[in-house]
Amino acid sequence: MKQRKRILSCLLLCALLAGLFTAPASALSDVPEDFWAKEDIDRCVALRYFYPESDGSFGVGKEMSRSEFVVLLCRAMGWKPTSPARAVYEDVSEKAWYAGALETAYHQGAITSQDGSFRPDDPVTRSEAASMLVRALGYGSLAGLIQDMSLPFRDVKANNGYIVMAYGLGLMDGTSVTSFSPNGHVTREQAAAILMRLYDKLHDLTASRMGIAVSAENLPDLTGYGAVGVAAAKLVYNGEPQIAPAMNGSEAQSVRAAASAAGAKALLYVTGNDYHIREGDEEKLADVLFQAVEEGRYDGLFLEVSGLTTVTQRDVLTAAVRSLREKLGTRPLYVGAEAPSWKGTIFGYDYAALGEAADHLVLRFDNKKEDAAGRTVAPLEPLEQVYYALNRLRGVVDAGKLTLLLTSTGSVWEGREPESLTAKEITALAAERTTRSHYSDRYACAYLVREEGPDVWYLNGQAIRERTQLARLFGGGHLCLSDLNHALPETLAAMP
């Protein structure tokens, strides 16, 4: 419940606060026009995150206390301080001006109590600020999972996961190429810069939604979708690459018409694997795909080829995609690729080249199962895997082109391979007397526990919102549903 409230408050702040920018901030006596943080300071004052000092200055260079930084976080996250405040820490009086904010932040999980004290007047360190930021966003568990990820900073010995995230999300920089200065203190202007980075990321509403239609039956309202992949074809190989139908012509036409009526681009969605990628077939592959788009009168192409593991396959696919870019001209080209894996290496994708040629690079995640306490744990697009992929591609592919392919059907592992469950099947199972519904904060994924049979994992509205927020923090936020026809209504409603 805390996580859901946190996500909603982050995503709704823009509508509540946008009007505040209409009133210009008063001139601050110690902030010159050419000061590096002037814009951030002015915006923070306009948003009422900060208030000027009594003498009309901002307090440039003044170090922030731990309590002051928590108050700023509450304002930035839209959390209303508890009133009247109750004692949470033994060294914080209930009458302190910041007591309500500390209590609120504590219950939101942004700060913790290990020894019963908070040290409210101590200067907040950069390491502590990183921890509070990441916890406020709801990523305390995620920070623990990624603490072994590499950092360029040689002086970080503790709180690794929090600093990894604060740096990886672009909220905090190092003090040099190899230093983070974790024990350094945060000044007021530095805090303003951090909060405005957070604000801009959470309130970037340029994210788009798209999805794949596997049939014309049970197609949802497509209003608001930028593109719809029509799953009408697949690659085959008979001495050379060819296209085989995966949907009859009239059904494909119905999906195209529905997409067009909703203002969405209808893209021919073509799937293939490593078997269809052969050296020397680059141009032939591009030709048959382009011809299929032309003959079907599609607005563009969505090509997804899985299972590539060799440098040769990588180069063939890259060359074909580049050729397709030229042939399609201004028509959209979406390319699907397996996301970089935390526990493995994928040689088959030149992410930089594909991202440069395509309008969107759509990342598919390898959803696997593991056994824990005698039960099958099989979350869909686990949050740490999404974080790893986006962080791995930061600076490699334009974040505005990255799109997360999310599984919109349920998944249950009855044997060696998972089975998909439709929205109707998930709803029916959830209604059974012996079934219990849960949400895993560890994986940010919903699941059903049955007395008989393995658990069913699926992405509900909360899971979609959490992945949207994470993608936005990386500068993206584009999502693609794997199956529009069989998605839960709350999943569809949560799309950005």
39-75 per-position pLDDT tens digit = 999 999 999 999 999 899 999 999 999 999 999 999 9
Describe the crossing of helices 2-17 and 66-77 by its angle, rounded to 10 degrees. 80
pLDDT in tens, 301-332: 999 999 998 999 999 999 999 999 999 999 99
CA–CA dist 385, 393 (Å, integer): 12
pLDDT of 272 reads 96
CA distance 312 to 87: 64
Query: pLDDT band for position 10 (50/70/90)?
Result: low
Q: How many residues does the chain have?
A: 496
Lowest mean pLDDT among 237-251, 409-423, 461-475: 409-423
pLDDT over 60 (residue 120): yes
DSSP one-letter code for 386: H
Q: What are phi and psi of 412, to 5 degrees?
A: -135, 135
Task: Dump pLDDT digits (tens) for 255-296.
Answer: 999 999 999 999 999 999 999 999 999 999 999 999 999 999
- Concatenating the DSSP letter of every residue in 278-343 gives -TT-HHHHHHHHHHHHHHHT-SEEEEEEE---SHHHHHHHHHHHHHHHHHHTTS-EEEEEEPPPTT
Closest CA to 202 of 12, 399, 443, 401: 12
CB 312 within 8 A of CB 349: no
In this predicted structure, which of 126-130, 391-395, 413-417 has the lowest mean pLDDT? 413-417
pLDDT of residue 280: 95
Which residue from 288, 287, 392, 407 is spatially nearest to 342, judged by alpha carbons? 392
In the predicted structure, residue 18 carries a pLDDT above the cut 60: no
Strand 370-372 to strand 360-364: parallel, antiparallel, or no bridges (unpaired)? unpaired
Residue 415 has pLDDT above 90, yes or no: no
What pLDDT shows up at residue 496? 86
CB of 455 within 8 A of CB of 432?
Answer: no
Task: Say whether pLDDT at 209 is over 80.
Answer: yes
Q: Within the chain, how many helices (H) and strands (E) appear?
A: 16, 16
Q: What is the mean pLDDT of the chain?
A: 90
Question: Quick one: pLDDT band at residue 26, thresholds 50, 70, 90?
Answer: low
Angle CA(81)–CA(194)–CA(180) in degrees, nearest 5?
A: 120
Residue 416 has pLDDT above 90, yes or no: no
